[in-house]
Amino acid sequence: MKRLLQQRLQDQVDSVLPGFEVLCEFGLGQVIEIRLRRIKSHESIRITGVQLADLRGPGALDRTVEQLLFEIQAIVGNLPAQDPVRTG
């Protein structure tokens, strides 16, 4: 499930935020930690943690990816800008 979440989220991030990499790692308990990393500078920021249970069920993964993409786009404005980030 972690790999699928990372792949789906990376596909979305590639289309709106080129130059960023999504990293998903298992955290404590049944949580997948999500980080966003700028490929050029290796700066990273923790976005959030997702409960594995929240990824189960019809459409749950797609809804989670949509919500995470919204959070990522909101947070990217707070990252130190080396190159302008185009989100549109």
pLDDT in tens, 48-71: 889 988 899 999 999 999 888 888
Its sign, for the CA torsion 51, 52, 54, 55, is positive
Q: By C-alpha distance, which of 61, 68, 53 is closest to 5?
A: 61
What pLDDT is stored for residue 77 in this prediction?
Answer: 63
pLDDT in tens, 2-46: 899 999 999 988 888 888 899 999 988 899 999 999 889 888 888
Beta strands in the chain (DSSP E): 20-26, 31-38, 44-51
Q: How confident is the model at residue 84 (pLDDT cuts 50, 70, 90)?
A: very low
Q: Is the pLDDT of residue 76 over 90?
A: no
Token pair for 68 = 């995470």
Higher per-residue confidence, 37 vs 79: 37
